Every structure is written in structure tokens, then in C-alpha cells.
Amino acid sequence: MSIIFYAYARVSTKRQKNDLEKQIQKINSFTNFLGAVCKKVHSEISSADAQPELRKLMKKIKRESKNNSSKCFFVITNISRAFRGKKLAYKVQRFLKRQGIKTLCANERYKYLKQARFPSGEEIEKSINKKNSINAKTLEGRRSKVQNGEIVGHRMPFGFKGKFEVDEQQAEEVQRLFNQYLILGSIAKLESWAKQNDLGKTKSLGYMLKNEAYVGKHGFGKLMTRYSEPIINKNLFSKVQSMLRKNTKSKE
């Protein structure tokens, strides 16, 4: 009976390209030792759950296994390298089991055929529960920060200090920038103007002009909202938002 190897290798980033080549080399050496040629090692650089090359390989296995009498193996270097997470590993395991294919981990001690150990359904459930628990604790921590008037997820916006207390000197510059944007009508021109006038804030002005913290509203997305002393009045802020939307549409 002939043997067919379906091989797969993956890394997360382009910086790990050398590691990907080592994985491919290890898999080829492993299959050659077992006396069969691996025609192709399907490989990819992917940090997303999608792993498109893996999905292509799964479709190929499904297509070929219908009329295949050969002994088939799925070869990887190790579970954590091949799959983005335990959930995906579990799905692949169930798929391969239905196709009657065993998974082997290519290892340097070739005399020991190491069959890959996939996570069980119970382990997957524990992993998901742990992740949900961590997310809940993180959410609670962010809520607590917002309640205490602390910044969440990024730096304190220019014009504020401490726990969203107004910095009078910076606040004056913020007001000048908002008013000047209505005159110039362009963020690029506003940045040039800010540099020429030696203002403390000359970068990320587009983000600043959209920040609701300047009308006294802050928090973390839709998580929670607190209100503090505003720097910009709502009428001026509304006019700036209208101009920003207008300029965005004209670019499109």
C-alpha cells in the first residue's frame, strides 16, 4: 500500500520566514526517512484565524480521500506552530478523523513516530471559559478606571492633565486649532499652521478634532461615559465635525 503525506507549515509574521523554511526542511527530511516523497509542503505566513492555505489543503484532502486507497498522514512540526488556536486545532482534528487520517509531528528522532496530540473538547471549553473570565475582569477594570476619571486605552488628550482636569495653557491652543480649522478647511494646512506658530500640538490633529473629550465626554467606546469640564463648546465642535465629513466625502 502506498503512503501519501499531506504536509503543512505556518508562521505568524514575515520576520519568522527563516523558521518557516526550517519547518519545511524538517518535514521533507522526516517524510524521506519514512520512505515516501512529500510532493508539496503547504505553507503560509498567517496570524489570522482564517489560515487560507490550511483551508485549501483541507479541501484538497476531502476531494482526494473519496477515491483514495492509500495510507494517508497529515504532517506538521508541532500543534502550536501549525494552528492559530486550540479551537482551530480541534476542528482540524475532527475533520482528519472523519477522513481516517492520522497526524504526525516531524521530529529529529525519526525512530520514534510521534503522533500529534490534539486538544480535547473539554480543554477547548476550559480555554474559552478562561478567555471569557479574563475579558470580564479586563472590562471591569476599564469600567473602574472610567469611574475614577482615568484615561483608558490611550494617552490623556492634549489639553487635559491628571484626571481630565483642564490644562489652561494647552486648552487655549486647542481652541485656536479648532477655530483655525474652520478657516483653513484642511488638516494638512492646519498642521503647517500649527508648526509655523510653534504650538505644542502639531501631529494627529485629525484625531484630535474628532475627540469628544473636548466637549466634556469621555470613556472607553460604548463601555461607559463620564462627563468632565469641556474645552470646546458644542456648537464649534459640531461645525468642525460637519467640515470633516464634507472633506472626507470630497476625497471619495
pLDDT at position 112 is 42
- What are the backbone dihedrals phi and psi of residue 19, each rounded to the nearest 5 degrees, phi first? -65, -35
User: Who has greater pLDDT, 119 or 106?
Assistant: 106
Same structural domain, 218 and 158: yes
Rounded distance between C-alpha atoms, residue 108 and residue 99, angstroms: 27
Is position 129 within any domain? no
CA distance 252 to 250: 5
Of 101, 119, 137, the domain-final residue: 119
Look up the CATH number of the domain holding residue 217.
3.90.1750.20
Kindly state whether residues 82 and 166 are assigned to the same domain.
no
Q: Cα-flanking dihedrals φ and ψ of residue 210, to 5°?
A: -95, -10
Q: Which residues of 163-183 are buried (b: 16+ CB within 10 A; e: fewer)?
A: ebebbeebbebbbebbebbee
DSSP state of 25: H
Least confident of 60-64, 149-153, 238-242: 149-153
> 28 and 106: one domain?
yes
Which domain does 225 fall in, by range?
150-251
Check residues 131 and 217 and name the one with the higher pLDDT: 217
HSE, side-chain direction, 13 A CA sphere, residue 43: 21
Do 200 and 101 belong to one domain? no
Which of these three, 119, 142, 168, is where a domain ends?
A: 119
CATH number for the domain harbouring residue 95: 3.40.50.1390
Instruction: Quickly list DSSP for 27-96.
Output: HHHHHHHTT---S-EEEEE--SS--HHHHHHHHHHHHHHTT--SEEEEEES-HHHH-SSHHHHHHHHHHH
Q: Exposed (0-12), middle (13-18) or buried (19+): which is 232, by Cβ within 10 Å?
A: buried
SS3 category, 132: helix
pLDDT digits (tens, 9 = 90+) for 107-129: 655 444 455 565 565 765 676 67
Q: How many domains does the chain have?
A: 2
Domain co-membership, 115 together with 154: no
- Asked if 106 and 213 sit in the same domain, the reply is no
Given 100, 119, 138, the domain boundary residue is: 119
In a domain, 32, yes or no: yes
Does the pTM exceed 0.75? no
Main-chain phi, psi angles of 42, to 5 degrees: -70, 120
* pLDDT value, residue 110: 45
212 in a structural domain: yes
Residue 238 confidence (pLDDT)? 93
Asked if residue 45 belongs to a domain, the reply is yes
**pLDDT band at 82; cut points 50, 70, 90:** confident
- 133 occurs within a structural domain: no
Say which amino acid occupies 169. Answer: Q
Do 182 and 79 reside in the same domain of the chain?
no
What pLDDT, on the 0 to 100 scale, is given for residue 1?
A: 59
Q: With respect to residue 228, please indicate whether it lies within any of the assigned structural domains.
A: yes
